Structure formats: C-alpha cells, structure tokens
Amino acid sequence: MKRFLILSFLVSQIVMAQKTSIPLWPNKVPNETAPKQVHEISNNTKNNVIRISKVTNPDFLVFKPIKAHKNKGAVIICPGGGYNVLSINLEGSEVAQWLNSLGYTAFVLNYRVPQNELGALNDVQRAIKLIRNNANNYNINPNKIGVLGFSAGGSLSARAATLFTSNTYTKVDDTDDISSRPDFAVLIYPAYLDRGENRSLTPEIKIPDNAPPFFIFATADDPYGNSALVITTALRDHKIPVDLHFIQNGGHGYGLRPGNMAAKMWPRLAENWLERILE
C-alpha cells in the first residue's frame, strides 16, 4: 500500500504538470483583492497529498478519456481542504483519472483558497458557464455537466447546485449569460452544510424547485457526517431526487485510495448512479 501511495503521488505530479491551465477570469478576478499569481504549493505533503495553499488566479485542468463519449457527460471536480488548501491529487487528479476510465471528461477546478468562500462560489459558477459554452470543443454534452466535490469541495458543489439563480458576481462577458446550473451533483463526505441553528442546514443554502439530482456518500464516524444528513433531508423535503449512502466506518478524506472500505464503496455506487441518471 505504501508503495502504491508513493507511485500515485508521483504519477499525479507528472499528470498535472502536463495539463493545460484554462483560466476562469480574463481580467480582474471578482471578489479578490490579491493580484493574479501562480498557485502556491504547500510544503505539507502528509499522506502523499499535494496541497495548493493559495489561489488568486482560478483555473481548471482538462482530463479527457482515451475514447471520448459525448453522451457520457462531464464532471467538474472540486477538491477538498477546508477552504484553506486544495488536496489537488487525492481529491482532484486521481478522481479525474478514474472518471476518464469510465468514459467521462473531467475538469479539476482550482478555486480560490484560503478562506474565500464567495470567491470559490464565483469560480465554480464561472467554470460551469465556460465549460458549457465550449462543450463542442471538449466533445461533451452541454446538458450533462455536473459537479463532484469532497469535504469543503462538497460544500461548494452543494452551493453550486442550489444557488445557481443568484448573481454572485458582476457579468464579465457573454459567457455569463449561460446557465450555471449543474445537471447533477455528487457530494462525497461533504462538510459545512450544517451551520444553521442546532446543526441544521446552513442558512445560505436555499433549495430551488429545479435543483438537479444529488448523490451523497458519507460515514457515521466522519466528524462532518451530519452535513450529508441535513442536506439530504432538505432535498427530500423539496422533492429533489437524492440518493444517500451512509455507512458505519470510513472517516474523512480518503478519496479513492485503497485500504478503506468507504473509498472502495462510493466509486461503485456513484458509477451506477451516473449511468442511471445520464442514460
């Protein structure tokens, strides 16, 4: 297992180095005071995780499957990291490669950190619009674009899938006339969705009648596990299609890596769910 993790770490570094960065904002970045700069990488590589510690010029990386399947759909991946860092291989490139193996085009989003939740929401909304606007160039179906997020990225994905009617930034160009509504949302061990009174749903999140279908996976021993429960309840109450998988053990922050039953289960369940809703 140790050997696998080291190999995975090195492969992820090579893969990301070869990817082309697609910037989100042509000029000034909304709700950002710092100048645009190259993403900063943390010196903390604990558990063979590459952590981006500062993003002021958000972008996404495109991961294309060997054989493109236009009707399979596309997934924008939002890595976790507590809105402080982005776990860019564990919850980014490794997940993108898995999605590619299933025939999906994947986009790993480098949204703003640290501690810029409004900026992060701006970034995911802009990414959805840009990717939808360029669907033909990516050989994807513009009506099958979803979000998949882990931990804080799960929080961000939930916000993208519920707050798409809100104008969170001033229009930049004609791309911003395109809908930012994702066609589906996958939340894996999501966090920060229970900031309401008595750990109820975060007040910012309002469930619209046309919210997309959700897939949610979490565990009972995850300290953030309540987030999965409260968002599922809210979706159910609003009659939004939702699949919740809540198992006993697994903890938090496992991604796809071996040695954890939760990491083994959620990809199989998500694969079947995606095939069902996108058929």
Domain range list for the chain:
2-278
Work out the pLDDT band at 11, boundaries 50, 70, 90.
very low
The structure's pTM equals 0.93
Q: Which residues contact 46 (CB under 8 A, 6 or more apart)?
A: none
| Average pLDDT, integer, range 8-24 | 60
Work out the pLDDT band at 36, boundaries 50, 70, 90.
very high
Q: Reply yes or no on whether the pLDDT at 15 is more than 50.
A: no
Proportion of the chain above pLDDT 90, given as a percent: 89
Looking at residue 274, its pLDDT comes to 97
3-state secondary structure the chain: CHHHHHHHHHHHHHHHHHCCEEECCCCCCCCCCCCCCCCEECCCCHHHCCEEEECCCCEEEEECCCCCCHHHCEEEEECCCCCCCEECHHHHHHHHHHHHHCCCEEEEEECCCCCCHHHHHHHHHHHHHHHHHCHHHHCCCCCCEEEEEECHHHHHHHHHCCCCCCCCCCCCCHHHHCCCCCCCEEEECCCCCCCCHHHCCCCCCCCCCCCCCEEEEEECCCCCCHHHHHHHHHHHHCCCCEEEEEECCCCCCCCCCCCCHHHHHHHHHHHHHHHHHHC
Q: Reply yes or no on whether the pLDDT at 95 is more than 60.
A: yes
Looking at residue 72, its pLDDT comes to 83
Is-contact 23 11, C-beta < 8 A? Answer: no
- As a whole number of angstroms, the distance between CA 213 and CA 270 comes to 12
Q: How many Cα atoms are found within 13 Å in the side-chain-facing hemisphere of 78?
A: 38
Looking at residue 8, its pLDDT comes to 44
Residue at token pair 């039953």: 261
- As a whole number of angstroms, the distance between CA 194 and CA 209 comes to 21
Q: Who wins on pLDDT, 129 or 16?
A: 129
Task: List the single range of 14-23, 40-49, 128-137, 172-181 with lowest mean pLDDT.
Answer: 14-23
Looking at residue 279, its pLDDT comes to 82
Work out the pLDDT band at 135, boundaries 50, 70, 90.
very high
Work out the pLDDT band at 173, boundaries 50, 70, 90.
very high
| Average pLDDT, integer, range 64-88 | 91
Q: Reply yes or no on whether the pLDDT at 3 is more than 60.
A: no
Looking at residue 211, its pLDDT comes to 98
| Average pLDDT, integer, range 160-172 | 96
Q: Give the chain's mean pLDDT.
A: 93
Task: Pick left, alpha or beta for residue 169 (phi over 0 → left; psi -120 to 50 → alpha; otherwise beta).
Answer: beta
The CB density around residue 272, as the number of other CB atoms within 10 Å, is 12
| Average pLDDT, integer, range 109-121 | 98
pLDDT in tens, 189-221: 999 999 999 999 999 999 999 999 999 999 999
Work out the pLDDT band at 14, boundaries 50, 70, 90.
very low
Q: Who wins on pLDDT, 54 or 9?
A: 54
Going from the C-alpha of 197 to that of each of 42, 202, 203, 208, the distances in angstroms are 34, 8, 9, 21
Looking at residue 127, its pLDDT comes to 98
Task: List the single range of 14-28, 29-43, 102-116, 145-159 with lowest mean pLDDT.
Answer: 14-28
Task: List the single range of 3-17, 58-72, 75-89, 203-217 with lowest mean pLDDT.
Answer: 3-17
Domain 2-278 is of which CATH architecture?
Answer: 3-Layer(aba) Sandwich (3.40)
